[in-house]
Structure 1
Amino acid sequence: MTESTAFVPERGFPYWKGHGTGNDFVLVADPQGTLKITPAMTALICDRHRGIGADGLIRALRSENLPEGQALLSFAPDADWFMDYRNADGSIAEMCGNGVRVFVHFLFSTGLVDLPEAATITVGTRAGAKKVTRIGNDYEIDMGPWRKAFPERTAVDGTDATVTLPGADPERGVSIDMGNPHTVVILPAGTPLAPLDLAREPMVSPKPRRGTNVEFASLTQPSAPEEPQVISMRVYERSVGETQACGTGACATAAAVRILSRRTDHNWIIRMPGGPVLVRFEKEQAVDGVAREHVFLKGPARMVANGTIDPEMWDLTDAPGLLEVAQ
């Protein structure tokens, strides 16, 4: 494909559709950064009834053509491509773990980058540069260090927030920063997650200023020590609702289980409605006596469709005011 993409709404413009373990995205190629896609337009594109339908929209552009990308290039000069990610409601998000895999697979499958087996590419996000390695049909991302978001308010049991679902008793959660915010509730091992009501946004107290993704998880039957431990998880993503999977949420969940259970396992399988991913922890080489722990996320990415957004999508005479809702 070429690197020229003209945005002319009255003529339509090309898009691709992909997913990572059921977390789906509309992707558009805009290497020069010429597309002007407003929050309201993003919300309409992601609408599952009047648009293409997706959990978010990813715009692929060269880092040099976006202010955030230009700043990132100063310390990650090999991050040629930037993942401009928007939630389904049009709001800008820092990043998305499943989205990064789909983004790299999009670049590779459309010929924008050459990525042989076992090769690594560095991509830019609003949560920093991420190194992604192609492993067969999967991609593994170095998500960088994880950290507790609010260590100053951690209770004796390791939790720092209260999470309440409609009609349910409050549960205690752990706030994890993966470049974007997460609040993880760990339920007793073997607890079935299907009965949880995630049709509405869980109430989190104290509520983080930027909002938070909320995960509910439980350990399955413990595995043998040499095998990855298995966690079941469901997630409510801020500005989206419940999704089939969340990559950063899977990483945050594994970190939260390690905190609350005081386990030191390095490999975890996170089972989500959209499918499993592998999360592993690895300490980096110490710098000035400090060795941070990185999280690696491995899972599949698939392209499922491509086409042209028809100009009739923007004709909302039968639904006046829809575009203004997201602005």
Structure 2
Amino acid sequence: MDVILSLPIVSYFAAPMLTSWSTSLNLLFFYMTWTTLVLSHSPLKIELVGTLAVRIVFWLVPSLFFLLFDTLVPSLAESIKLYGSASIPRRNASSLARQVLLAIINLALFTALQAAISVFATSLLHRPLFKTSTTLPLPWQIVKHIATLYTAREVLTYYLHRHILHSRGPVARLHVQYAHTCKAAAPYALMLYADHPLPLMFNRLLPIYLPSLVVRPHLLTYFLFMLLTTIEETLSMSGYSIIPGIIMGGITRRTAAHYASRARGNYGAWGLLDWIHGTSVGKNIVKDVRDEAEKHQVKERGVKAANDTGSLMQDGIDNLKKSRKGRKKRSDSS
């Protein structure tokens, strides 16, 4: 518990809500917390507890809340669910309890597997798997590593999902049996980890963890990548039609279409490779982004912002000319 509470990610996001410190003081507090954590705990402990904390806070807790909402207020939930009442979880207490237990067991198994891989890699490399130092990663380095990890994740997710989880092998049969019910509807967030451990490893663990093993970013960058992907996966599996954002709303609809179509397509996380390979179900990513941009009036807002910026620049130039003319008149009169 002391490791979770001392995680700099938690303290960094909590500080603005609890205090009125400036940004510089928040960064200083973030650095001091991270330094204390690195000096007082082993890199392996920080990695495992931090990863587990991210998954609990940003997947398990929200998914249980969504599940309660869907089952306790189904009439309200179905109005904001993709595919309506068909997407409401079955109100069977024993079935839902088994599903919750399976998801928690999978979370524990993945944490244990990650621990084994990290211990083996550390002993082989004679240094921690991720860069765990008091020096914080540079912003450009974070952006570069996150972009690389996301690209690798999209590639692995698409090809593993399409050619292993939806082929004719034993892993595919387990995935269909556990993850795809007979009901053609959108999923709910608890189903993110409610799958057989073997197909779940190909679907959720390897596309995120394997690229991280190759890139070996700073541990803070890995935590950020874990946080972003966990939030994305939780929202995309929620099945809600009110998910905000031009990109995130489309990901949620494509995930729902994947389950509703009984896995006829939409195998990638973002839908880019589905568009390239022609395996999109419903709107592909290009049409979806275009429609969402039109709905949110992105073009009009961009033109308005450009016009406002141009007006400000013109006003500044006019004021500068006026001040120069005033100085010139004063110098001529003197």
For the aligned pair, the TM-score class normalised by the smaller chain equals: under 0.3
Q: Which TM-score applies when normalising by structure 2?
A: 0.26
Q: Which TM-score applies when normalising by structure 1?
A: 0.26
Q: Which has the higher helix share?
A: 2
Q: Which has the higher strand share?
A: 1
Q: Which has the larger radius of gyration?
A: 2
